[in-house]
Amino acid sequence: MKTLPNIVPRGRGELVMLIVGKTPACVSVKEGHYFRGTHGKRFWKLLGAHTAFKRGAAAFEDESLLQYGFGITDIVKKPREFGKEPTKEEYCEGIKGVQNLILTYKPAILLFVYKRSLDKWMRWQFGHSAKATYGFDRPAEREFNRAVFAAPLPGVGRCTSDRIESCWRQLGRRLATAPLPCRRNSND
C-alpha cells in the first residue's frame, strides 16, 4: 500500500509540535505530500496565517515542517477519500504508532487536524465520553501530559468563523513562546 511517510527528525530529536491527521487523502498520496485536498489546503493556510510557519522556498508546505520543529503523521496510514472513516480496529492500531512517535519525539503540542479523531482517541484509549473542544482541550492535555490542540477548519464540524480565528490565534501565541528544539545536523 502506498502512503505518506511520517515527517519527524532523524534520530531522537524533539519536536515543538506533532501534527496528527486522521488518514492520508488519496490526492495527497498521489502527489506525495500531506494535505493536498480542499480541507488540507485550508489547514496549511490557517497554520501559515496564525503562526510563524511559512513554506518558504519549498515546493510543498510539509517540506518546511522540520525547520520549525514540527512533525506530521496520520493515525491510520491507509489512504481514503474524504468522509470515509477508518474502523475502530484501524484507529486503535494506528494510535499505537502515534504513541510511539510521542514517546520518541516528545512534542510540546499535539495538533489534531480533525477533532473527531481526538474524540475517538479519548474514548477508546482513555474512556472519556465527552467530546473535545476546538482549540486547546484541557481533558486531553491531562491525559497526554502536554498541550493538545483540536484544529477547527472551515467547513468541517460546527464552529463559527470567529471561534476558528480565536483558536488559531491561541495556537500562534502558544507557539511563539515555545522553545525550538535543539537542531541536529542534517547528516546525523
pLDDT value of residue 150: 95
Residue 156 lies in a domain: yes
- pLDDT given for residue 184 in this prediction: 39
In whole angstroms, give the CA distance from residue 180 to residue 20: 19
Answer whether residue 10 is part of any domain: no
Cell numbers at 178, concatenated: 515555545
Grid coordinates of 21 = 491527521
Please give the average pLDDT of every successive group of 10 residues along the chain, which has 188 residues: 92 88 94 92 93 88 94 95 88 95 95 94 93 94 95 79 93 86 42
Q: Total structural domains in the chain?
A: 1
| CATH number for position 37 | 3.40.470.10
Q: Are 148 and 128 in contact (CB under 8 A)?
A: no
**H helix count then E strand count, the chain:** 6, 5
Residue with cell 498521489: 30
Instruction: Check residue 58 and give its pLDDT.
Output: 86
* 23's grid cell: 488518514
Residue 181: predicted pLDDT: 61
Q: How far apart are CA 109 and CA 145, in angstroms?
A: 10
Coil/strand/helix, residue 182: coil
Let me know: does 57 contact 2? Beta carbons within 8 Å: no
- In a domain, residue 12? The reply is no
Q: What does the pLDDT read at residue 31?
A: 94
- C-alpha count within 13 angstroms, C-beta hemisphere, residue 38: 6
Could you tell me if residue 73 is inside a domain?
A: no
Task: State the burial class of residue 4 (Cβ atoms within 10 Å of its Cβ: 0-12, 13-18, 19+).
Answer: buried
pTM of the model: 0.92
- DSSP single-letter state for residue 56: T
* Position 80 in a domain: no
pLDDT at 133 (0 to 100)? 92
* Residue 123 belongs to a domain: yes
